[in-house]
């Protein structure tokens, strides 16, 4: 069936209703708050999920949330998170917020979206989400209602007895009305909506990008883009009998669209383990056992999680797995090879963006995969490699590097971001979203990402604006100039680091600068792991820091340290620019050093290398 808006659901409630009618008694979502393979789990069928979403939408409308009003949520994963996500889309515009952000950043997002209501946790041991949201709401005057979700219902004795005794004090410090989510939802009908959904396509979600600058960008997503993501999953991959293990957060587009929307379109079953997913206690140690418990057919993952899994034995029957999907950051070739050798399972790597309502390209699940590429553009996705010139945009030749630009049903042309100024110069030829990613397309149409025009640091899928680090360190009286980049890391893909030029006649030790950065950068993920003082930073002809040279320094330093630490007698002779592969480390060593020894050390890193 071709993609045609006349043949697919026009509203989110209709989308979910079709699934209920076709698969009502089948499991939709399962969740367990603890990671053990025998721990308590709760499952919603498609009929039950439909009822709860209907109730939630009716409740939100009763509290004054209209089609253009925003319902934000700052929640870890649980069944309520999925219900809020879908119910918020039905009633108004839903705004998922990363609960790991600081209160100031949460508040900035609430102000940017003008949120009328916020759904968050009731104060709970070992988490400060309730406290941060309470502080954030105090500085977000548009928020009139806070709805609290209590995780206590997922626990069994004796933990369920202990939590009420050690629960932190209610953190309310704002003027918004606070109500219990479950109690409010229960007061409303579940068999039908109390209002009529408009049939016109509309914005139904705001997703923030990055979140490290205090003034985050907020992308707008239309229902058509969400349904398109689900349509792709159903047409190309998932069947009603599939079970998908997804330890990724529902505040991220990867879990919300390619996964949850594909489950709705196909009637398949998704499992969310623990509130924190891969970060949850015991999840890494128990993941293979959880795959066996649920007889999962697909595993959704990211490179950092794959690297951690490869440090653990496969201690369960994972014969049900057909494949794994990796996204959020580049997948090192050696990590792919180790996973394939250990499990016999292919990893399918893809490419997506928050600004595109996610999906853009994927290595064909049943076709030729080119390891190192992100595959072929999805159906009805038009991807072009362009270079901007004084005369306009020029189409790049085969294998020529340029900016990846995308048009598809997930791109909201002209109004990607809520803030008008941030949409300026965002589109090529008025239609193609400029992603800021540099890449090339080979003769077979496969897409390769070679760098990032916007210089973002991607730490385990978390976008970090280098300006946050640079502005913080520039506050130090001894610092004249800063260049922040992502240095290669075998686990996180990249870690933030900074190179510093000091004011003439001033001194500052590295330990002092690291401490200063920690005190002045609000987002913990953005605090640099390494700082080096240089006599002079490399600069362009107009005096800007020339970051490619800093990346060369970082690659050489990290690779040399890794080789030395592994006892491999080799070193980086140079880091050179390759038109197809980006920066490439040239490794000098004796002929006696085997390629396998080099791959074992350097294969875990994303930047390319070659022997010289």
Residues in the chain: 612
Instruction: Show the tokens assigned to 166.
Output: 């050690």
The H-or-E segment that residue 334 falls in is helix 333-343
Structure confidence at residue 6 as a pLDDT band (50, 70, 90):
low
Statement: residue 136 has pLDDT above 70: yes
- The answer to whether residue 212 scores a pLDDT higher than 50 is no
Number of other CB atoms surrounding residue 166 within 10 Å: 9
Q: Return the higher-pLDDT residue of 117 and 474.
A: 117
Confidence of residue 37 (pLDDT cuts 50, 70, 90): very high
DSSP state of 137: H
pLDDT of residue 214: 41
Closest of 248, 305, 36 to residue 154, by C-alpha = 36
Alpha carbon of residue 548 to chain centroid: 26
Q: Is the peptide bond between 610 and the residue preceding it cis, with omega within 30 degrees of 0?
A: no
Q: Which tens digits make up the pLDDT trace of 538-581?
A: 986 556 788 989 999 999 999 999 999 999 999 999 999 887 78
Look-up of token digits 């002209």: 414
Q: What is the mean pLDDT of the chain?
A: 92
Do residues 551 and 518 make contact, with C-beta atoms less than 8 angstroms apart? no
Taking only the tens place, the pLDDT of each residue in 185-208 is 999 999 999 999 988 999 999 999
d(CA 297, CA 75) in angstroms, rounded, equals 27
- pTM given for the model: 0.84
Residue 191, pLDDT score:
97
Q: What is the mean pLDDT of residues 349-362?
A: 94
Residue with token string 């139904």: 204
Domains in the chain with CATH codes: 13-360 (3.40.50.12780), 380-452 (2.30.38.10), 457-611 (3.30.300.30)
C-alpha to C-alpha distance for 133 and 145, rounded to whole angstroms: 12
pLDDT of residue 210: 61
The answer on pLDDT for 169 being more than 90 is no
Q: Give the CB-side neighbour count of residue 168, counting CA atoms within 13 A.
A: 16
Instruction: Write out pLDDT tens, residues 504-531.
Output: 899 999 999 999 999 999 888 899 999 9
Between strands 570-578 and 269-273, the pairing is unpaired
595 phi, psi to nearest 5 deg? -60, -35
Q: For residue 90, is pLDDT > 60?
A: yes
Residue with tokens 């140079």: 574
């Amino acid at each position: 069936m071709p993609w045609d808006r006349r043949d697919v659901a026009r509203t989110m409630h209709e989308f979910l209703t079709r699934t209920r009618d076709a698969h009502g008694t089948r499991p939709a979502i399962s969740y367990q708050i603890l990671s053990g393979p025998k721990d308590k789990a709760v499952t919603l069928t498609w009929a039950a999920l439909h009822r709860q979403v209907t109730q939630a939408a009716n409740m939100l409308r009763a509290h004054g949330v209209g089609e253009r009003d925003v319902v934000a949520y700052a929640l870890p994963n649980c069944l309520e998170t999925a219900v809020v996500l879908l119910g918020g889309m039905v009633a108004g515009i839903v705004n998922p917020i990363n609960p790991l952000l600081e209160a100031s950043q949460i508040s900035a997002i609430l102000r940017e979206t003008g949120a009328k209501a916020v759904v968050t946790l009731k104060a709970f041991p070992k988490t400060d989400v309730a406290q941060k949201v309470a502080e954030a709401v105090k500085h977000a005057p548009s928020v009139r209602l806070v709805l609290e979700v209590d995780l206590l219902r997922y626990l069994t004795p004796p933990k369920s007895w202990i939590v009420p005794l050690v629960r932190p004090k209610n953190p309310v410090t704002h003027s918004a009305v606070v109500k219990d989510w479950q109690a409010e939802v229960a007061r409303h009908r579940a068999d039908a909506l109390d209002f009529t959904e408009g049939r016109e396509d509309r914005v139904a979600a705001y997703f923030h990008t990055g979140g490290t600058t205090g003034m985050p960008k907020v992308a707008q997503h239309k229902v058509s883009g969400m349904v398109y993501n689900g349509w792709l999953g159903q047409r190309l991959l998932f069947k009603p009998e599939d079970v998908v293990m997804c330890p990724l957060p529902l505040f991220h587009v990867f879990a919300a669209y390619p996964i949850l929307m594909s489950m709705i379109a196909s009637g398949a079953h998704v499992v969310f383990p623990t509130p924190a997913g891969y970060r949850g206690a015991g999840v890494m140690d128990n993941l293979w056992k959880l795959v066996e418990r649920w007889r999962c057919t697909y595993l959704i993952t990211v490179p950092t999680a794959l690297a951690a899994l490869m440090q653990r034995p496969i201690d369960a029957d994972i014969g049900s797995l057909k494949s794994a999907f990796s996204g959020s950051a580049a997948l090192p070739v050696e990590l792919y090879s180790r996973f394939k050798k250990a499990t016999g399972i292919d990893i399918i790597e893809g490419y997506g963006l928050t600004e595109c309502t996610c999906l853009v390209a994927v290595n064909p699940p049943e076709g030729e995969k080119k390891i190192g590429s992100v595959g072929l553009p999805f159906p009805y996705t038009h991807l072009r490699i362009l270079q901007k010139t004084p005369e306009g945009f020029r189409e790049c030749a085969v294998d020529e590097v340029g900016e990846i630009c995308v048009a598809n049903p997930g791109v909201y042309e002209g109004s990607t971001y809520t803030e008008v100024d941030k949409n300026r110069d965002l589109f090529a030829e008025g239609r193609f979203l400029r992603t800021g990613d540099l890449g090339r397309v080979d003769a077979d149409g496969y897409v390769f990402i070679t760098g990032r025009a916007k210089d973002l640091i991607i730490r385990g899928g978390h976008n970090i604006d280098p300006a946050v680090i640079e502005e913080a360190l520039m506050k130090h009286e001894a610092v004249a100039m800063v260049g922040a980049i992502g240095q290669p890391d075998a686990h996180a893909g990249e870690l933030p680091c900074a190179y510093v030029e000091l004011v003439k006649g001033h001194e500052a030790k590295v330990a002092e600068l690291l401490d200063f950065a920690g005190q002045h950068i609000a987002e913990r993920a953005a605090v640099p792991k390494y700082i080096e003082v240089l006599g002079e930073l490399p600069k362009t002809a107009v005096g800007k820091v020339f970051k490619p040279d800093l990346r060369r320094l970082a690659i050489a330093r990290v690779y040399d340290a890794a080789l030395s630490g592994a006892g491999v007698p080799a070193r980086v002779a140079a880091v050179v620019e390759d038109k197809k592969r980006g920066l490439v480390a040239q490794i000098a060593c004796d002929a006696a050093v085997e390629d396998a020894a080099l791959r074992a050390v350097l294969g875990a890193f994303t930047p390319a290398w070659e022997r010289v």
